[in-house]
Amino acid sequence: EVQLLESGGGLVQPGGSLRLSCAASGFTFSSYAMTWVRQAPGKGLEWVSSSSGSGDSRYYADSVRGRFSISRDNSKNTLFLQMNSLRAEDTAVYYCAKHFGFYIGSPMGDYWGQGTLVTVSS
């Protein structure tokens, strides 16, 4: 059974940092692209960042580029999102999602995690 379990969310002050993790199981992790999607309270879904199966290709939304960094440890079946210089507008539930294929251009959402809440506030 495929499972994606996010962790690492919490309350952080503006300008602070946080590292999210997404632990994957039930599939060959290195064979699939992975994506982070976020949802601010009462708002819609927003694509944040994607990584190819190997981790060699990584892309970011304009809103987070230069502040967030996606990475993965294929030996530990875990996806990460390092978030620096956090702002109030980064407050959201962060979901990780598995793609249907290796490349970032393959459809996303084969499976979704349940999300982890990040709150940026003083």
Q: Give the whole-angstrom CA distance, residue 37 versus residue 46.
A: 6
For residue 44, the number of C-alpha atoms closer than 13 Å in the C-beta half-sphere is 2
Map the footprint of other proteins across residues 27-56, applying CB under 8 A: 35, 37, 44-47, 50
Tell whether residue 119 is a contact of other proteins (CB under 8 A).
no
User: At 31, phi and psi to the nearest 5?
Assistant: -90, 0
Map the footprint of other proteins across residues 81-110, applying CB under 8 A: 95, 97, 100, 104-110
Q: Minimum distance from CB of 60 to other proteins (Å)?
A: 9
Q: Which DSSP symbol is given to 65?
A: B
Here the tokens at position 41 are 């309270």
Alpha helices (runs of H) in the chain, residue ranges in sequence order: none
Q: Minimum distance from CB of 110 to other proteins (Å)?
A: 7
Decide whether 57 or 74 has the Cβ nearer to other proteins: 57
Binder among 21, 40, 59, 71 for other proteins (CB under 8 A): 59
Q: Name which of 87, 51, 54, 90 is nearest 69 in CA terms.
A: 51
Residues interacting with other proteins, by CB under 8 A? 35, 37, 44-47, 50, 57-59, 61-62, 95, 97, 100, 104-110, 112-115
